[in-house]
Chains A and B, each alone.
Chain A
């Protein structure tokens, strides 16, 4: 059961729906501790002053910001003054067509759950959920998390309200800033090549089944840890496979045809 990281209300118009928010992801990564290799004892981090190497306790640490050569120091309370007033309210500002949103803007996914099991709360929750499911639109609002304000998109997903924090438009690099992107004017693809590529893509297409992919590195690491426990041994160093040359095929059309033929054989 994921823990609640935010409680408040989501409002649209004059309707306020009490909700609580949980992460929509689970951390399945394998985490390590740092240990002293000589003794196996845990390593911890100590915060010391660069001036006199004295240890500095947590409550004596502030946030420094360099402003025109001067270090401005803020306490947590002072930083909190920057947080907008509505720290427990997501106010829907508009509903938009989700296909218009650049997926790169979606940051972290969360779930919004009814704030309590009372009839008033669950009915209001269902109202928003069902109406959004019917229109298929995404609601745009803002949410304050960890004293930081985020843009957020809310939509119905699997019978629940799903919220994704979003990056701002100016945090997404535009393709025009990258020289290495071949412009379609300078590198106009030939009609025959595109047709052959589309054919290859179609031959290699099947349904997206997310559960068919596993995190192979997570599995490999767990297996190694397991084997290290059972046999106090060394892991075998895997042999590197043959590198595929970083050479572009000189004849693109031939490579496309060859690929298509192989895909159809298999």
Chain B
């Protein structure tokens, strides 16, 4: 079934107005549980109560409160919060463009996909092709649900993607960290050997080759339990540290070579077919749900 859009509005680049729709990109397949009482599997409901009296509080009476450093609280209504945020428009206004290569992916928070509304298809296609050709990304802002987001608009195949972005002050700086001295340098020989090991382990990125083993394992546990079998956690073993780095590196490179039957690291030739990804693996009977 085709997904439904989560937001409709316009994308504005200068005087060019493109009517668009926003779609989610992430569709997590994690196994979703719900809370139940162990004794009789009865479902659990969350009830909001006054913490002093224990009485249930009707949702109409619930307010948000901000606790200040001195412990006093400021109670806010939704209207006041909305007023603080200021006027809201249904426009993604592109403020400027930047080289795609300049954006560290750590700034990308959540991906979305843009579609075109009727009459927007031409302009959408022109923007997508122009971004693709110039290697640029549009930076702008818009309001999703209640919060204003900094966003990047970038081409991805046939589509335009929109990424909400993290602000620079949301990233941890090295100065905030309690780092040990790293004065002990590895030798040039060790680094050289490490690079050889990286080369030996180099592969072409095939995202479909990584499957969510955990999802399958959880389903297996559920089925075991449903069949009335007991379920026990496996023992874990701690990995061993190595005293001699160079020896460990050399041995790793050797092992890797012999595993490949002595062949040069050409066993995985770069595949140019990446632009058109292969058909998605079937998720058939797997639960299309997410954990809380």
Task: Give the dominant DSSP class at B's interface.
Answer: mixed
Q: Which residues in A have their C-beta under 8 angstroms from that of B48?
A: 34, 43-46
Q: Which residues in B have their C-beta under 8 angstroms from that of A41?
A: 50-53
Q: A102-B207, A223-B84 are in contact. Are A189 and B234 (CB under 8 A)?
A: no
How many A-B Cβ pairs are below 8 Å? Answer: 583
CB distance from B197 to the nearest CB of A (A): 5
Q: Which residues in A have their C-beta under 8 angstroms from that of B147?
A: 217
Q: By the criterion CB–CB under 8 Å, are B74 and A249 in contact? A: no
CB distance from B272 to the nearest CB of A (A): 12
Q: How many A residues are at the interface, by size bracket? A: 35 or more
CB distance from A134 to the nearest CB of B (A): 6
Q: By the criterion CB–CB under 8 Å, are B51 and A160 in contact? A: no
> What is the CA–CA distance of A80 and B158 in the complex, to the nearest angstrom?
41
CB distance from A38 to the nearest CB of B (A): 6
Q: By the criterion CB–CB under 8 Å, are B197 and A12 in contact? A: yes
The total of chain B residues at the interface (CB under 8 A) is: 191
Q: A137-B198, A169-B208, A180-B5 are in contact. Are A157 and B97 (CB under 8 A)?
A: no
Q: Of B44, B234, B291, which is in contact with the most chain A CB atoms at under 10 Å from its CB?
A: B44
Is A5 part of the contact surface with B, judged by Cβ < 8 Å? no
User: Contacting A197 at CB < 8 Å: which of B23, B46, B126, B231?
Assistant: B126
CB distance from B83 to the nearest CB of A (A): 5
Contact with A along B107-136 (1 / 0, CB 8 A): 110010111110111111111111101101
Q: By the criterion CB–CB under 8 Å, are B26 and A48 in contact? A: no
> What is the CA–CA distance of A134 and B35 in the complex, to the nearest angstrom?
49
Q: Which residues in B have their C-beta under 8 angstroms from that of A130?
A: 186, 191, 194
Q: By the criterion CB–CB under 8 Å, are B130 and A137 in contact? A: no
Chain B residue at minimal CB-CB distance from A110:
B172
> What is the CA–CA distance of A211 and B178 in the complex, to the nearest angstrom?
23
Q: By the criterion CB–CB under 8 Å, are A241 and B87 in contact? A: yes
Q: Which residues in A have their C-beta under 8 angstroms from that of B105?
A: 103, 106, 164
